[in-house]
C-alpha cells in the first residue's frame, strides 16, 4: 500500500525585501549574497501576519483547491518553532478558523490536532507520524502543516537568510503526488548549535525595587523570549553536515545499497536555511559515496580537494540536475525553517512541471535537519497523477506577484514600529487583536478572515 502526499499548498508573505537593497545597506557586495548564497528576495511578514495566519491560509487553500470536507480530515499536525503561545498549539487556532470560515462549529471536532517542535525538522517529524497513522488506518486522511517565521537580529550574520511562510500537505493512502518508502534513517545528538532560550532579567536591573509586582510578575526575575535565535553559524553548519552524513550513511546501510545511493535519486531534497546550503553541504556526501572517496581520504590537503571538486564539471552537472530545481523558491523566499524542505520539494515539482519533464516513477532523496540536533534520511517516489494534483498550486506565479518594500519599511516591521499593514488586507486571514484587558483572557489572540 502506497502512502504519501496527495496534495500540497502554501502561503508566504506578499511583501519582500530585495537582497541587493539589504546588502547595500549593510555595506555588503550584493554579488556575495546573490551569487555566493543564491539569495535574491527575503519574504517578510506584514503587520497582520504571524505563524497562525500563514498556516491557516495554507490549509484553507488546500481545502478549497481540492474540495476537501470535514470527514476528509482526521488529523492536523503542525511542525513549527514559531509558537504563539507556551501551551495552546497553533493547530487549535487553525482548526477553529477552518470551522468558522469553511465549515460549521463542531464540524472538525473528531479531528486530532497537535504541534510538534524540533527546530527545522518538526514538519518531517509530523509527516512521519502521520504516515504511520495512515499505514495503521488506511481510510483515514491527515494534514501536515509547517509554519514558521525565520527572524534574526538586525545586522546579524543570519539577517539576510530570513524568510517566512507555511506549507500544507495532504497525506493519504494511494496518493497522487508522492509515495514514501518505508526506510527512514535517523541521526540525533544533543547540541547547542541554534536555540531560542527564555532569557531572564532581574527586576532590580530595570529599576523595580523590593521585588514589587510588575505585569503580574511576582518573581524577582522577568522572563524574556525572542523570536531571534542564539546561534553559531559555523558550528551549526558542521552539525548539519555531521547529522545528514550519518543519516545518509545509515539509510544506505538499511537499503543494502552497494553503489552510490545518490545516483539512484532523481532529485536531492534538503533543508535549506539559505538557498545554496544543499549544494555546499552535499559535496562531502557525494565524494564519500563515490569513486572519489579514496582520493579524498589520501589527499595532502582534503580541504583543497573538496574545494576543487565542488567546482568540477562533474559536480556542477550534479547540482544542475538534482539540486538546482529545489533551490529556486528558496532564493525568492528565504529560510522557512520547518517548511524549507517541503518548499524545496514544491520548487522541484513546479520546475519539472514548467519544463514538461516526465518524472513519474522517479525517486527523490530527502535529507532533513533540525538544530539541536537531528537528521532524517528517506525517499519518496513520484506518482502518475502528480501534475493534476499540483496544478492549483501556482508557486512561481505567486512568487512573481509579490511586492518589494524598502529597507526602512523592513526595519520598521522588524522592530514592530508599524500599526498598519503595508499592503491592503484582501482574501486572507489576519491577526485581528490580542486581548489586553480581560484578566482571564489576557494574551488571547483573535483572528479573522479579510475579504
pLDDT at 425: 87
pLDDT at 258: 87
Give the pLDDT confidence of 274-294 residue by residue, as tens digits.
999 999 999 999 999 999 999
Closest CA to 395 of 310, 326, 320, 321: 326
Closest CA to 390 of 346, 434, 427: 346
For residue 36, give the CATH number of its domain. 3.40.47.10
Is residue 443 one of the residues assigned to a domain? yes
Is residue 216 one of the residues assigned to a domain? no
Dihedral (CA of 262, 272, 91, 54) sign: negative
Percent with pLDDT over 70 in the chain = 100
Give the pLDDT confidence of 338-364 residue by residue, as tens digits.
999 999 999 999 999 999 999 999 999
Concatenating the DSSP letter of every residue in 17-49 gives EEHHHHHHHTT--HHHHHTTS---EEE---TT-
Look-up of cell digits 523570549: 225
Closest CA to 273 of 340, 365, 205: 340
Is residue 221 one of the residues assigned to a domain? no
Q: Are 351 and 149 in contact (CB under 8 A)?
A: no
Concatenating the DSSP letter of every residue in 151-202 gives ---TTSTTGGG-EEEEEEEEEEES-SSEEE-S--EEEE----SEE--EEEEE
Is residue 226 one of the residues assigned to a domain? no
Is residue 224 one of the residues assigned to a domain? no
Is residue 198 one of the residues assigned to a domain? no
Closest CA to 44 of 151, 168, 181: 151
d(CA 19, CA 34): 7
CB-neighbour burial class of residue 304 (10 A; exposed 0-12, middle 13-18, buried 19+)? exposed
Q: Report the number of distinct structural domains present in the chain.
A: 1
Is residue 102 one of the residues assigned to a domain? yes
d(CA 10, CA 33): 25
CB-neighbour burial class of residue 92 (10 A; exposed 0-12, middle 13-18, buried 19+)? middle
Residue range(s) defining the domain that contains residue 174: 3-193+232-450
Cβ within 8 Å of residue 175, ≥6 positions away: 2, 3, 4, 5, 6, 383
Q: Find how far residue 206's CA is from the centre of its chain.
A: 37
Is residue 105 one of the residues assigned to a domain? yes
The DSSP symbol for 288 reads H
Give the pLDDT confidence of 22-81 residue by residue, as tens digits.
999 999 999 999 999 999 999 999 999 999 999 999 999 999 999 999 999 999 999 999
- Cell, residue 180: 514514501
Q: Could you give the count of Cα atoms lying within 13 Å of 205 in the half-sphere of its Cβ?
A: 7
Q: Find how far residue 386's CA is from the centre of its chain.
A: 21
Per residue of the chain (451 residues), give pLDDT as tens.
999 999 999 999 999 999 999 999 999 999 999 999 999 999 999 999 999 999 999 999 999 999 999 999 999 999 999 999 999 999 999 999 999 999 999 999 999 999 999 999 999 999 999 999 999 999 999 999 999 999 999 999 999 999 999 999 999 999 999 999 999 999 999 999 999 999 999 999 999 999 999 988 999 999 988 999 999 999 999 999 999 999 999 999 999 988 999 999 999 999 999 999 999 999 999 999 999 999 999 999 999 999 999 999 999 999 999 999 999 999 999 999 999 999 999 999 999 999 999 999 999 999 999 999 999 999 999 999 999 999 999 999 999 999 999 999 999 999 999 999 999 988 999 999 999 999 999 999 999 999 9
pLDDT at 137: 98
Residue 76 β-bridge partners: 113, 143
Give the pLDDT confidence of 172-188 residue by residue, as tens digits.
999 999 999 999 999 99
Amino acid at each position: 500500500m502506497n502512502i504519501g502526499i496527495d496534495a500540497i499548498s502554501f502561503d508566504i508573505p506578499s511583501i519582500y525585501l530585495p537582497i541587493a537593497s539589504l546588502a547595500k545597506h549593510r555595506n555588503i557586495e550584493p554579488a556575495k549574497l546573490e551569487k555566493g548564497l543564491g539569495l535574491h528576495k527575503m519574504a517578510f511578514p506584514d503587520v497582520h501576519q504571524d505563524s497562525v495566519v500563514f498556516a491557516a491560509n495554507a490549509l484553507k487553500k488546500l481545502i478549497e483547491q481540492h474540495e476537501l470536507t470535514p470527514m476528509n480530515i482526521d488529523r492536523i499536525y503542525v511542525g513549527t518553532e514559531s509558537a504563539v503561545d507556551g501551551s495552546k498549539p497553533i493547530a487549535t487556532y487553525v482548526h477553529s478558523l477552518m470551522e468558522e470560515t469553511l465549515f460549521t462549529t463542531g464540524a472538525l471536532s473528531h479531528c486530532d490536532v497537535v504541534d510538534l517542535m524540533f527546530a527545522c525538522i518538526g514538519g518531517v517529524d509530523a509527516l512521519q507520524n502521520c504516515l504511520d497513522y495512515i499505514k495503521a488506518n488506511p481510510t483515514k486522511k491527515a494534514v501536515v502543516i509547517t509554519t514558521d517565521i525565520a527572524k534574526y537580529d538586525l545586522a546579524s550574520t543570519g539577517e539576510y537568510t530570513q524568510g517566512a511562510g507555511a506549507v500544507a500537505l495532504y497525506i493519504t493512502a494511494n496518493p497522487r503526488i508522492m509515495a514514501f518508502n518505508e526506510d527512514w534513517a535517523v541521526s540525533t545528538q544533543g547540541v547547542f548549535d541554534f536555540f531560542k532560550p527564555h532569557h531572564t532579567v532581574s527586576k532590580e536591573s530595570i529599576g523595580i525595587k523590593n521585588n514589587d509586582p510588575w505585569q503580574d510578575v511576582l518573581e524577582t526575575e522577568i522572563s524574556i523570549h525572542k523570536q531571534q535565535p542564539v546561534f553559531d553559524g559555523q558550528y551549526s553548519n558542521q552539525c548539519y553536515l555531521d547529522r545528514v552524513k550519518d543519516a545518509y550513511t545509515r539509510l544506505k546501510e538499511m537499503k543494502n545499497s552497494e553503489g552510490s545511493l545518490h545516483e539512484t535519486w532523481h532529485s536531492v531534497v534538503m533543508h535549506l536555511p539559505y538557498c545554496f546550503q544543499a549544494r555546499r553541504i552535499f559535496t562531502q556526501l557525494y565524494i564519500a559515496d563515490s569513486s572519489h572517496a579514496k582520493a579524498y581520504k589520501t589527499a595532502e590537503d582534503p580541504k583543497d580537494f573538496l574545494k576543487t571538486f565542488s567546482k568540477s564539471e562533474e559536480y556542477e552537472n550534479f547540482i544542475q540536475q538534482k539540486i538546482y530545481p529545489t533551490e529556486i523558491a528558496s532564493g525568492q523566499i528565504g529560510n522557512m525553517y520547518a517548511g524549507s524542505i517541503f518548499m524545496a520539494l514544491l520548487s522541484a515539482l513546479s520546475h519539472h512541471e514548467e519544463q514538461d519533464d516526465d518524472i513519474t516513477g522517479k525517486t527523490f532523496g530527502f535529507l532533513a535537519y533540525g538544530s539541536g540536533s537531528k537528521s532524517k534520511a528517506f525517499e519518496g517516489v513520484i506518482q502518475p497523477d502528480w501534475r493534476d494534483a499540483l496544478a492549483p498550486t501556482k508557486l512561481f506565479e505567486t512568487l512573481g506577484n509579490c511586492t518589494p518594500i524598502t529597507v526602512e519599511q523592513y526595519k520598521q516591521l522588524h522592530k514592530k514600529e508599524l500599526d498598519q499593514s503595508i499592503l491592503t488586507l484582501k482574501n486572507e486571514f489576519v491577526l485581528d487583536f490580542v486581548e489586553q484587558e480581560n484578566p482571564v483572557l489576557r494574551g488571547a489572540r483573535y483572528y479573522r478572515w479579510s475579504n
